Structure 1
Amino acid sequence: MADGRMLAEAVGLLSAGAAERDLAAFRADHPAARVRLIRQREEYDGSLHHALLIKDGDGATISLSWCPDRALPWPLRGVHRAGEHLLLRVNGVETPVARAIACLDFIWDESRLADRLITDSLVRELLEEAPEPLTDAELQAATDAFRRARGLLTAGAVREWMDRNHLSHPELEELVAVEASVARLRSRVAGGQVEEWLAEHGHELDVARVARVEFAAGAGPRVPDADGFLDAAERAFADGTARPGDVFATLRRGELDQETADQVFGATPGTVVGPFPTERGHLLIKVLAVEPAVLDATVRDLAERRIFADWLERRRSTAKIEWFWGTADRTGG
């Protein structure tokens, strides 16, 4: 467990009034401990309070907080204003949080939203314990990449996007910094494991370059010859039997179900495979080229993401997850 000197220094850190500034030095002095600084903004008066969680190697956690003599009285800590329960107002019509959650409740059938919220919480916990600070140059590079990824190529486009999403410039910088820090964390977690992962799972990242056409349900499974595939696709689209969509695509083996992957990646380039049933009809695929995964920047990024996702799933399996709405069978963790 933490010794008396560490606890005294922790109290000094909290009481000095510069906990966020001095946290890195405290961590450096006590590298064996996992330290997390908790920030609590009181809605009643806007005051900011800090608490410190210290985890030792034995798994125990010490929680420390400090309050100045003339701070907000304890009975008022955590008091919520009525407006905090309001999420949205449109033309004077108010939407409380409870109603918004009820509107989103159907999403639990897929649980993607819930999974993303839990993942975000786990990532923030990790970044609070071991921050990934960025230099000004790195932040600028991350901002440029953020803009390019969203097609925000002019200052006007950036401003319009910020206004639409109700973001200030500091909030945009924070959003970019978090995204860049997560990328760093992902690389740190996957460090030294990419080659080993590829040796076992690399085939999942094999690439097939294809032309594909989805036919409507009533069109019937007509399979054109390979040489006339694109002409047949044009005619089918013209007469309404082919559905709109991208014709050319790059597929990864791991993105496909087993049966489709076996046929696509087992085909000789230049041949047509299918039909494969879809929700709206059936799909025909002409295989143009098949390439094994090679360790380039793209494959490394994909491998790191898979390793990171598996690592997060293991952390999630041991996390204490508490939802404050919904039914227990849906929200229990």
Structure 2
Amino acid sequence: MTDSFRASVDLHEIADFLKRELKMKEVCNQIFYQKLVERASQERNITVTEDDIQAEADRQRLALRLEKASDTLAWLADQMISPDDWEAGIRDRILAQKLSEALFGSEVEKYFAQNRLEFERILLYQIVVPYERLARELLYQIEEEEISFYHAAHLYDIDDRRRTMCGYEGKLGRTNLPPQIAAVVFGATPGELLGPIATEQGYHLLKVEEFIPAELTPECRQEILQRMFKNWLASELNYALSNASL
């Protein structure tokens, strides 16, 4: 795509596209959220320093393997933004992070303790097939060791990715699974063969490889912090819009 072709897209066209794609509300809400972050941060004297921005910019450059200044400028041009735009975006994200920590950092442990079950995880393998008869036949063959669970998944699963991964579904929590499946697998013993269970997808055979107890890791802490902050933003936005104060 040439620069002249890109330049031919104006703001009205962008707005019209967002409306047609039903994304205008989503984008407007993000703008409203940023206004809320700015206001709440000013009230709490929360600021972002040049050192904060520089450290995050360096981290991003390292992640993107932008070793030279010219590499960074070329990447920014490809993104259709200026260095100032990039730094402004970094500043906005850091400000939101600092505000979320100020608002809810001290409440994360309490939230984790009250919602511990939500953060349990399992390593799950599964086979999904379209017919109950096939699911029961595979169950019998696996139990009789005529075929391994993983080979059966590779041959029969309806999903290309799972076939390639021999049934590997991933590290999952309760909210990542249909309720009827979550209820079964989180009460299972690792290695136990489960199913078939019928859902809209088909008939599931399941195997829990490992049970991972809930632990307040840095990743889990960040997940909780983001969840609490997101809920706060939504609540503040609803209140602000109802009072037309934005």
Whether the aligned pair in 1 keeps the contact of 2:57 and 2:87 (CA below 8 Å) is yes
| Alignment-derived partner of residue 170 in structure 2 | 249
**1:288 lines up with 2:209 in the alignment:** yes
Q: 1:161 to 1:233 in 2, by over 3 A?
A: farther
**1:133 lines up with 2:47 in the alignment:** yes
Q: How do 1:198-277 residues align onto structure 2 when only pairs under 5 Å count?
A: 198-213=112-127, 215=129, 217=130, 222=135, 223-224=138-139, 225=142, 228-236=148-156, 241-244=158-161, 247-273=168-194, 275=197, 277=199
Q: 1:113 to 1:175 in 2, by over 3 A?
A: closer
Q: Equivalents in 1 of 2:211, 2:6: separation in Å?
A: 55
SS at structure 2 position matched to 1:250? strand
**1:183 lines up with 2:97 in the alignment:** yes
Q: 1:92 to 1:304 in 2, by over 3 A?
A: closer
Q: Equivalents in 1 of 2:132, 2:171: separation in Å?
A: 25
Deviation at 1:257, TM superposition (A): 4.0
Q: 1:96 to 1:170 in 2, by over 3 A?
A: closer
Q: 1:127 to 1:285 in 2, by over 3 A?
A: farther
| Alignment-derived partner of residue 320 in structure 1 | 241
| Alignment-derived partner of residue 67 in structure 1 | none
Deviation at 1:221, TM superposition (A): 5.6
Which runs of 5 or more residues in structure 1 are unaligned? 1-88, 324-332
TM-score (ref. length: structure 2): 0.73
Cα RMSD (Å): 3.7
The alignment covers a number of residue pairs equal to 229
User: Pick from 170, 177, 182: which aligns with 2:84?
Assistant: 170
Deviation at 1:272, TM superposition (A): 4.0
Q: 1:90 to 1:213 in 2, by over 3 A?
A: farther
Deviation at 1:197, TM superposition (A): 0.8
Deviation at 1:297, TM superposition (A): 0.9
SS at structure 1 position matched to 2:171? strand
**1:120 lines up with 2:42 in the alignment:** no
TM-score (ref. length: structure 1): 0.56
Kindly provide the CA deviation profile for residues 202-250 of structure 1, in whole angstroms up to 9, marking residues without a partner as x.
Answer: 21111111234555x579762543772211122236xxx4423563411
Whether the aligned pair in 2 keeps the contact of 1:108 and 1:114 (CA below 8 Å) is no
Q: Equivalents in 2 of 1:183, 1:91: separation in Å?
A: 33
Deviation at 1:94, TM superposition (A): 5.3
SS at structure 2 position matched to 1:189? helix
Bigger share in strand:
1
User: Pick from 184, 195, 198: which aligns with 2:109?
Assistant: 195
Q: Which has the larger radius of gyration?
A: 1
Q: Equivalents in 1 of 2:160, 2:156: separation in Å?
A: 9
